[in-house]
Amino acid sequence: MEIPFLSLKSTNKPFEDSLKIALTDFLSSGQYMLGKSVANFEKNFAKYCQTKHCIGVANGLDALILILNSFEFKKNAEVIVPANTYFASILAIIKAGLKPILVEPNLEDYLINTDNIKKAISKETVAVMAVNLYGRMCDYKKINEICQENKLKLIVDSAQSHGAEYQDSKDCFGADAIAYSFYPTKNLGALADAGAVVTGDEQLAKTIRKNRNYGSEIKYQFDSLGLNSRLSELQACFLDIKLKHLDDEISKRRHIARRYLTEIKNDKLILPPSDRINQDAWHLFVVRTDIRDSLIRFLKEKQIGFDIHYPIPPHKQKALKELNGLDLPITEIIHKTILSLPLNSSLVEDEVDHIILTLNSY
Ligand SMILES: Cc1ncc(COP(=O)(O)O)c(C=O)c1O
């Protein structure tokens, strides 16, 4: 049995008929930019995220940049960010003219370590950017306390955690602003690049809404140096259709995660934490092993797809030469030992059985 890591054709199959109808309606509407589909999706996604405002933007990277720019921090002010994240979190801080301060995550859940946040705070710190990596929320009770005590903004990179909850909260305990990506592989994925900012802060929402459109509220009048980062009207139609099924998508993911966590029994594999199966969004199911090369050979032989999120940590990337000398041993252990198993809503029970049996025989 050959099992791909992810087939976007299969995950979009259940929506095919509705997406075709939406495309036909879109074509005949004649309204191709910032029309009623963007407005509808923004209203529905804000409600889904238990907050007041959603601003659709072109992608997740822009969502982060627009948030950071909106605070008008002074140039080179410091933003604390986990060292173990996708490159975009750190790139956004640099593109906003700020300085990323990388801190080590927890080895157990791969998320930013709150004691390390405290240690990294300096006179120059203006914000913490927490990242809900792999679909699991960070410890927002503690992170919010730290931010409030130190008067720091809390920005969340939720590109991987649509629908995740932490202590019944989807809004990260009232973080200042949360950035989403709807890149096609995400739990809520468009059919092209797309993203959003959600926030409970009306003034912040107004600024970001203006700045996604060149800094213009009134046609041909520019109040600030914004971006061209509008959410596509067509992608908003598609996203609105898929949003109605997001909870279903996440419960399928939770079901598979629960099966992996209870049925994979192999001392060579360290499984992710199982304490919040019904709160995590399970964007990725990431195991760790000291013998990754051998596991990769085995999975290839057995035709089971896998991926590595991510093989090179940001501070070792060629593009971030100024960070190459940082000593971040936990981040490096994570990047050397992780491997993502297939976990998506198009997997059928037989395939899940097969993955479990195969891994138990390894
Ligand atoms: C953690 C994280 N942050 C930011 C982004 C950037 O999103 P986009 O690719 O939509 O710009 C991604 C995308 O994969 C991501 O995984």
Q: Residue 92 CA: which ligand 1 atom is closest?
A: 4
Closest C-alpha to 22, from 244, 345, 252: 244
283 CA → ligand 1 middle, Å: 12
CA 176 and chain centroid, separation: 16
Per domain, the residue ranges of the chain are 8-243, 246-360
Check residue 88 and give its pLDDT.
Answer: 98
Q: Tell the residue number behind the tokens 């996203």, with chain if given.
A: 239
Give the per-residue SS3 of 28-74: HHCCCECCHHHHHHHHHHHHHCCCCEEEEECCHHHHHHHHHHHCCCC
Are 185 and 160 a contacting pair, CB within 8 Å? no
Residues with CB under 6 A from ligand 1: 59-61, 85-86, 88-89, 131, 157, 159-160, 181, 183, 193, 195
> What does the alpha-carbon distance between residue 125 and residue 127 come to, in Å, rounded to a whole number?
6
Check residue 168 and give its pLDDT.
Answer: 87
> What are the pLDDT digits (tens) for 240-289?
999 999 999 999 999 999 999 999 999 999 999 999 999 999 999 999 99
Are 112 and 82 a contacting pair, CB within 8 Å? yes
Are 197 and 67 a contacting pair, CB within 8 Å? yes
> What does the alpha-carbon distance between residue 227 and residue 221 come to, in Å, rounded to a whole number?
14
Q: Residue 64 CA: which ligand 1 atom is closest?
A: 4
Check residue 350 and give its pLDDT.
Answer: 98
Closest C-alpha to 103, from 337, 317, 313, 340: 313
CATH class entry, domain 246-360: alpha beta
121: CB partners within 8 A, 6+ apart: 80, 146, 150, 152
Per-residue pLDDT, averaged over 198-213, amounts to 98
86 CA → ligand 1 middle, Å: 7
144 CA → ligand 1 middle, Å: 23
Question: pLDDT averaged over the chain?
Answer: 97
87 CA → ligand 1 middle, Å: 8
Residue with the nearest Cα to atom 8 of ligand 1?
Answer: 60
> What are the pLDDT digits (tens) for 85-132?
999 999 999 999 999 999 999 999 999 999 999 999 999 999 999 999
Would you tell me which CATH number, out of the four given (1.10.3720.10, 3.40.50.1370, 3.40.430.10, 3.40.640.10), belongs to the domain 8-243?
3.40.640.10
Proportion of the chain above pLDDT 90, given as a percent: 98
> What does the alpha-carbon distance between residue 28 and residue 143 come to, in Å, rounded to a whole number?
48
218 CA → ligand 1 middle, Å: 30
> What are the pLDDT digits (tens) for 132-180?
999 999 999 999 999 999 999 999 999 999 999 999 889 988 899 999 9
- Beta sheet of 177-181, edge-to-edge order: 53-57, 195-199, 177-181, 153-157, 125-131, 78-82, 99-103
Q: What is the DSSP string of 141-159?
A: HHHHHHHHHTT-EEEEE-T
Q: Residue 131 CA: which ligand 1 atom is closest?
A: 1
> What does the alpha-carbon distance between residue 334 and residue 157 come to, in Å, rounded to a whole number?
19
> What does the alpha-carbon distance between residue 197 and residue 179 come to, in Å, rounded to a whole number?
5
> What are the pLDDT digits (tens) for 60-89?
999 999 999 999 999 999 999 999 999 999
Q: Residue 132 CA: which ligand 1 atom is closest?
A: 1
Residue with the nearest Cα to atom 12 of ligand 1?
Answer: 159
Residue with the nearest Cα to atom 7 of ligand 1?
Answer: 60
C-alpha distances in angstroms, 361 versus 4, 14, 95, 220? 19, 33, 47, 65
**Pocket test residue of 57, 91, 132, 183 for ligand 1, highest count of atoms within 8 A of CB:** 183
Check residue 174 and give its pLDDT.
Answer: 87
59 CA → ligand 1 middle, Å: 8
88 CA → ligand 1 middle, Å: 6
> What are the pLDDT digits (tens) for 301-348?
999 999 999 999 999 999 999 999 999 999 999 999 999 999 999 999
